[in-house]
């Protein structure tokens, strides 16, 4: 997709281990043994895409992302993956691929269920489509941001910003089954224990809250951030051993 905001790869990687765990669990459920072509749609800074190259060392592995900043970071890794700037809504391979992975990207595309027929059609018969999306949009980490952004004086600036959304596992299972796939779909809630100053703000400001923050000018943003941090601290207190952030993830693996 073509985002209307810019990404910060280094900030995104602050909690790289926590963000990477769902990717690893998703890929572990893909049954491909020796694929020729593997694609990561929404590859971000490429740190996880490199794991695909390790999993299938004989495959041609490519990563695509709409963010030039992310692709620049990925290309700096000097691994054997080829990286390209591309909108996942418009991406189509020159020929169907063996494995197509999309990790924490589809939630940024409104109506992304409509993309599934095209994604399935981009995979060879006998191939695999696997994706995971966040499922925590009713949690305080998101509702606090939405409520605050709707208040004056912020609402005039944040009304039309990008915001992520997704479905439950049953919805993806039904949609992919209707497309003729054999589907494994599930949900997991991780309890991430975060450390540092305002760690939940650090987490959300690099992902779901980033478009809202970037929509505010230099005069409004400091006040918004201060109040956002205060409300997040109330919702996610530090018990002395860190801040616990429950994070629900939704997975789907389709075998064609």
Domain boundaries, the chain: 9-255
CA angle 232, 15, 71 (to 5 degrees): 120
Query: What Cα–Cα distance (Å) separates residue 236 from each residue in 89, 144, 227, 245?
Result: 35, 12, 14, 7
Q: Kindly report the CATH class assigned to 9-255.
A: alpha beta
pLDDT recorded at residue 1: 38
Q: 17 falls in which pLDDT band (50, 70, 90)?
A: low
Q: Answer yes or no: are the C-beta atoms of 146 and 217 closer than 8 Å.
A: no
Q: 16 falls in which pLDDT band (50, 70, 90)?
A: low
CA angle 39, 46, 72 (to 5 degrees): 110
Q: Which helix (H) or strand (E) holds 27?
A: helix 16-28
């Amino acid at each position: 997709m073509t985002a209307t905001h810019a990404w910060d790869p280094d900030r995104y990687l602050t909690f790289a281990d926590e963000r990477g765990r769902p990717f690893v669990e998703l890929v572990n459920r893909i049954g491909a043994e020796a694929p020729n072509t593997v694609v990561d749609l929404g590859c971000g800074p490429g740190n996880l895409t490199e794991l695909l190259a390790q999993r299938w060392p004989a495959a041609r592995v490519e990563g695509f992302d709409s963010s030039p900043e992310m692709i620049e970071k990925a290309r700096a890794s000097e691994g054997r993956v080829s990286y390209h700037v591309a909108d996942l809504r418009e991406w189509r391979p020159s020929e169907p691929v063996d494995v197509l992975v999309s990790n924490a990207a589809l939630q940024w595309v409104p109506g992304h269920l409509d993309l599934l027929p095209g994604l399935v059609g981009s995979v060879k018969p006998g191939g695999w489509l696997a994706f995971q999306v966040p499922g925590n949009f009713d949690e305080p980490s998101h509702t606090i941001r939405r409520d605050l952004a709707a208040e004056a004086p912020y609402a005039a600036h944040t009304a039309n910003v990008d915001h992520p959304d997704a479905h439950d596992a049953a919805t993806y299972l039904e949609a992919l089954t209707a497309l003729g796939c054999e589907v494994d779909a599930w949900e997991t809630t991780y309890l991430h224990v975060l450390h540092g100053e305002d760690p939940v703000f650090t987490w959300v400001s690099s992902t779901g809250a980033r478009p809202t923050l970037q929509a505010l000018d230099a005069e409004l943003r400091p006040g918004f951030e201060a109040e956002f941090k205060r409300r997040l601290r109330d919702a996610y207190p530090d018990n002395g051993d860190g801040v616990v952030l429950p994070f629900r993830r939704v997975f789907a693996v389709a075998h064609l």
